[in-house]
Structures are given as C-alpha cells and as structure tokens.
Amino acid sequence: MKKKILKVLALVLAIILILGIGVFANSLVGNPVSKYLATKTANEYIEKTYTDKDFIIEEVNYDFKTGGYYARVTSPTSIDSHFSLSLDFTGKLTLDCYDDVTSGWNTAMRLEDDYRNAVKAITESKDFSEKYFIAYGEIPCVLSDYPIDEEHPEYALQKEDLVIDKIYDIKEVASEHGKLILYAYDEEVTVERLSELLLEVKNKFDNSGVTFKAVDFVLEPPKKEGEAMMSDEQIQIKNFYYSDIYEDGLVERVREANQKTIEFNIEQEKIKDTEISGQ
C-alpha cells in the first residue's frame, strides 16, 4: 500500500516538475502553437493590408518581455521597408509599426549607420590617437515641430525631408548634419589642450573626406585604478561647430563653449531635481 502511495506521489511530482519546466520554457521561448497562430495572422494581415507591396514575413520570434510574438516584415525591393508586427500569444495582432517606414525613421537610421561606420573607420585607424576612449558619429534627427535645444540642435536632419530608399551621399549628409562625439584622456586638462585636439581631429577628418557639422568633446585626466569611468575634473563642450575650428581665437571660443556647457548641465540638474522632488 505504501509503495503504491509512493509511486503515485512520485508520478504527481514528476508531472508537476514537467509542467513547471514547460511553463518556464514557454516564458523564455514561447510555444509552437502560439508561434503558428502568430505566423498565420501576420501573413494574412500583410496580404490583406498591403496588397500593393511586396512585403514578406522574414521571421517570427517570441518576445519574452510581452509574452507575445513579433514578426519582422521586409521587402526585397526596398531598403527602407522593414518593420515589425506585434501579436499576442493567441495570434491576435496588437501593433503595426509600418510608421517606421513612412515617417522616415528607417531612412534616418540607415544614414546614421552609414555615418557611424564611416567615423569608425577613421577613429579605429592606426593613426588616430589611442587617448580617445569613446569616439563615434551620429546624425541627429527630429520632426520639424521639435523645439531647438542642446539635444535637438538646429542642424538636425528633419525626417519629413527624407526620401524613402533614396541613396544619399554620406559625405554631404555628414557635413550638414553629422555630429561627432569624443571622450579623451590627457594629462593636461585645459582649454588650450582641448583646442589643440580639436584642430588635430578636424585635420584627420578633413584628410578622410568625411567631416562633421558639430562635435561634443569631453577631455579628462587618465583614469586611475578604482576610479569611476567619468571624472569630475573635465572640460566639456557641446555642439561646437566644425566651422569654428580654426586656430585664430579658437581658445577663447572653446572657453566660451565650455562655460555654456557648464551652465547647461547645471540647469539640467536643477530640472532633474525638481522632477524627482515633485514625484
């Protein structure tokens, strides 16, 4: 009798364990039935909604954050036509992100990728100083009704002006909208030294043929063991224009830009403190 009870208990525990593993696995990778339903819905939705497009469902994957699925939609004839569909575990469509295509977002991200790669080729070259521990490029992009500020500068690319699938000259885009972000270590943390480095950087980029519209630059002393990556002892400038990087009067322009950046950072901290205290 006891043996039978033990066998039953063992069987129950085994079933509970299997179910637990199944639930855990489902939370991580989903299940084939839900994936089938999501795939079926996605294909039917694309065929019905975008009859004039050559969209295809490239893949359907589980989204462990939502417990649903997302389908990646692409086009073999349009470089900027890619977006996702979100579906729940029953296969019901919950979100269509086609707006990423029509809003110009995908086109803007394509241009930024091209610029980042162009900047990377320069900053990772042998003749670029190893003192730069962060160095990359970006293309600020906004909607036309965005307010102009430090985070959304006047030279930002406007998404409404972009043409889907158009092949742009990244050198031209960079000179009008490119932003260079640099963080450098140096024993001499002075406005004069930052000015020297700006001239060096400008020369490197001029020689490469790919330039920039403006630069954010942070200069700080070499990091010592155990110290935070970013130092309080630093000189920083934001949105410093390429056209302002020339030797005559450069130190004073950098000094003024540094002061403006300090004031901007102080103001941002005040805003942040106000938001936190108001919560």
Model confidence pLDDT, tens digit, residues 117-144: 999 999 998 878 888 999 999 999 887 6
Domain residue ranges of the chain, discontinuous segments joined by +: 30-102, 105-278
Instruction: Tell whether the model's pLDDT for residue 148 goes beyond 80.
Output: no
Token digits for 222?
């070499």
Token digits for 24?
């855990």
Average pLDDT rounded to a whole number, residues 88-98 = 95
R_g (Cα) of the chain, nearest Å: 27
Label residue 219 by pLDDT band (50, 70, 90): very high
Return d(Cα 210, Cα 251) in angstroms, integer: 24
Q: What is the pLDDT of residue 30?
A: 54
Lowest pLDDT segment from 15-24, 64-73, 201-210, 251-260: 15-24
Which of 20 and 73 is assigned the larger pLDDT? 73
As a whole-number percent, the residues of the chain with pLDDT over 90 amount to: 68
Q: What is the DSSP letter of 104?
A: S
Q: What is the pLDDT of residue 121?
A: 94
Label residue 76 by pLDDT band (50, 70, 90): very high
Highest-confidence segment of 14-23, 156-165, 264-273? 156-165
Return d(Cα 194, Cα 254) in angstroms, integer: 8
pLDDT in tens, 11-53: 434 444 433 333 333 444 458 999 999 999 999 999 999 999 9
Which of 219 and 266 is assigned the larger pLDDT? 219
Q: What is the pLDDT of residue 155?
A: 93
Cα–Cα distance list, 72 to 97, 114, 269 (Å):
10, 22, 40
Indicate yes or no: pTM above 0.75.
Answer: yes
Q: In terms of C-beta density within 10 A (0-12 exposed, 13-18 middle, 19 or more buried), how is residue 204 classed? A: middle
Q: Which residue has 């079926």 as its token pair? A: 40
Q: What is the pLDDT of residue 85?
A: 97
CATH for the stretch 30-102: 3.10.450
